[in-house]
């Protein structure tokens, strides 16, 4: 069986997180460089893809994918798919894995939420601190009815499509949290929680495992704001996972985030679509997809509907089509 592939993009010299992942024998780390990446970037055991390497791969995506953009990760995903990856783990160069970093099985019995509860704040199941994930609807932050209580959870057999591991110290929150509180948070240790159909929570690309059947859903929109990119991906993915019998699961923190420098006001500006669009995205995707379609077909239909809603542009659809063509060519 192929190793699990871990994919990041980086414009920095190799970090502590990179060194630790590279030393883990159960993982193959792929790093997609960018134009700002150091020319001398190199770490033993890492498959580093320079810009020249990415263009030499011959994937259609590279003809339209922007430079100096987080979406460069997608060149790493394609490399991992081509290498036969059965699982791709998405993370960043500032997330240091704890010893024994691992994700739960993709099939089993887990504590699961009720169905059709809408958005829930999963962070409240892992800490008592007043905190919420980036992309969580702002009008629900003070609404305790959207928190999952212990009595809400029932042991259920589920097929997990994606696992989201939390991050300690500086978890994935929005700029509003960082501007008004910014308390360092270390999450409680507990068993995983799986969200049933119709119950959802924003999730990111920082400590996330994706099974092979859902690799098309790794698409990172490249023509929306930077802070919306992975949040939009996660919102789009959830109704599509439901349609195909998969669930989203959350685990306790398994990485420590030592966050790269950020300007919180610039983050706030970049996050405005995260504040305005979550419910619109879910509604658009839900009405566009059909259980009779493939995952890729549903992803294409979802983005076409988002374009009608002016949440994404025609340029995004053009790039998505290149991504889907590359994935299809690698998986046929």
For the beta carbon of residue 198, count every other beta carbon within 10 angstroms.
16
Q: For residue range 81-114, what is the model confidence (pLDDT) as tens digits?
A: 999 999 999 999 999 999 999 999 999 999 999 9
Q: Is residue 61 predicted with pLDDT exceeding 70?
A: yes
The band of 261, judged by pLDDT with boundaries at 50, 70 and 90, is: confident
Q: Is residue 290 predicted with pLDDT exceeding 60?
A: yes
Biggest CA-to-CA distance, the chain: 54
SS3 content of the chain, % helix, strand, coil (to 5): 40, 20, 40
Q: Is residue 230 predicted with pLDDT exceeding 50?
A: yes
Query: Considering the chain, what is the average pLDDT of its residues?
Result: 97
The band of 3, judged by pLDDT with boundaries at 50, 70 and 90, is: confident
Average pLDDT rounded to a whole number, residues 251-274: 94
Return the structure tokens found at 53: 């390497």
DSSP 147: S
Residues 6+ apart with CB under 8 A from 165: 103, 207, 208, 209, 250, 251, 252, 253, 254, 255
Q: For residue range 116-163, what is the model confidence (pLDDT) as tens digits?
A: 999 999 999 999 999 999 999 999 999 999 999 999 999 999 999 999
- pLDDT score at 302: 98
- Check: CB of residue 50 under 8 Å from CB of residue 37: yes
Where helices occur in the chain by DSSP H, the ranges are 16-22, 51-56, 73-82, 175-180, 226-243, 264-276, 278-288, 295-308, 314-331
Q: For residue range 164-198, what is the model confidence (pLDDT) as tens digits?
A: 999 999 999 999 999 999 999 999 999 999 999 99
Average pLDDT rounded to a whole number, residues 255-284: 95
Q: CA angle, 153 as apex, 151 and 158 as ends, to 5°?
A: 165
For the beta carbon of residue 5, count every other beta carbon within 10 angstroms.
22
- For the entire predicted model, the pTM comes to 0.97
Return the structure tokens found at 22: 């590279």
- In the chain the first and final C-alpha atoms are separated, in Å, by 18
Q: Is residue 259 predicted with pLDDT exceeding 90?
A: no
Q: For 271-289, b where at least 16 C-beta lie within 10 A, e where not — what string? A: bebbbebbeebbebbbebb
Q: Is residue 77 predicted with pLDDT exceeding 70?
A: yes
One DSSP character per residue, 82-143 reads HTT-SEEEEE-TTEEEPTT-----SEEEEEEPPSS-EE--GGGGT-SSS---TT--GGGTT-
- pLDDT score at 260: 76
- pLDDT score at 2: 65
Q: Is residue 58 predicted with pLDDT exceeding 70?
A: yes
Percent of the chain with pLDDT over 90: 98
Q: CA angle, 250 as apex, 239 and 128 as ends, to 5°?
A: 120
Average pLDDT rounded to a whole number, residues 20-28: 95
Q: Is residue 1 predicted with pLDDT exceeding 50?
A: no
Q: 87: burial class by Cβ within 10 Å (0-12, 13-18, 19+)?
A: buried
Alpha-carbon span 91 to 165, nearest angstrom: 10
- Check: CB of residue 115 under 8 Å from CB of residue 198: yes
For the chain, the structural domain boundaries read 97-331
Average pLDDT rounded to a whole number, residues 308-313: 98
- pLDDT score at 332: 82
């Amino acid at each position: 069986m192929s190793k699990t592939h871990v994919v990041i993009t980086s414009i920095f010299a190799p970090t502590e997180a990179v060194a630790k992942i590279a030393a883990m024998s159960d993982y193959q780390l792929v790093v997609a460089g960018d134009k700002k990446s150091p020319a001398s970037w190199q770490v033993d055991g890492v498959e580093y893809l320079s810009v020249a390497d990415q263009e030499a791969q011959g994937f259609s995506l590279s003809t339209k994918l922007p430079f100096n953009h987080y979406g460069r990760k997608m060149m790493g995903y394609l490399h991992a798919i081509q290498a036969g990856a059965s699982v791709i783990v998405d993370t960043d160069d500032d997330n240091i894995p704890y010893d024994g970093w691992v994700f739960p099985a993709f099939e089993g019995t887990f504590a699961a939420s009720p169905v059709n509860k809408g958005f829930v704040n999963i962070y409240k199941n892992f800490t008592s601190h007043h905190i919420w994930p980036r992309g969580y609807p702002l009008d629900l932050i003070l609404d305790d009815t959207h928190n999952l209580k212990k009595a809400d959870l029932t042991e259920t057999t589920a097929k997990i499509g994606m696992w989201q591991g939390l991050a300690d110290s500086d978890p994935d929150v929005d700029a509003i949290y960082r501007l008004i509180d910014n308390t360092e948070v270390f999450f409680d240790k507990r068993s995983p929680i799986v969200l049933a159909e119709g119950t959802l929570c924003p999730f990111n690309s920082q400590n996330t495992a994706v099974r092979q059947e859902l690799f098309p859903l790794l698409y990172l929109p490249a023509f929306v704001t930077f802070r919306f990119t992975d949040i939009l991906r996660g919102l789009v993915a959830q109704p599509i996972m439901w349609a195909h019998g998969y669930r989203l699961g959350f685990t306790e923190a398994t990485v420590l985030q030592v966050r790269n420098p950020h300007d919180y006001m610039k983050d706030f500006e970049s996050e405005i679509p995260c504040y305005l669009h979550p419910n619109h995205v879910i509604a658009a995707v839900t009405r566009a997809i059909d259980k009779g379609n493939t995952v890729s077909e549903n992803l294409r239909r979802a983005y076409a509907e988002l374009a009608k809603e002016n949440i994404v542009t025609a340029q995004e659809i053009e790039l998505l089509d290149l991504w889907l063509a590359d994935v299809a060519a690698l998986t046929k």
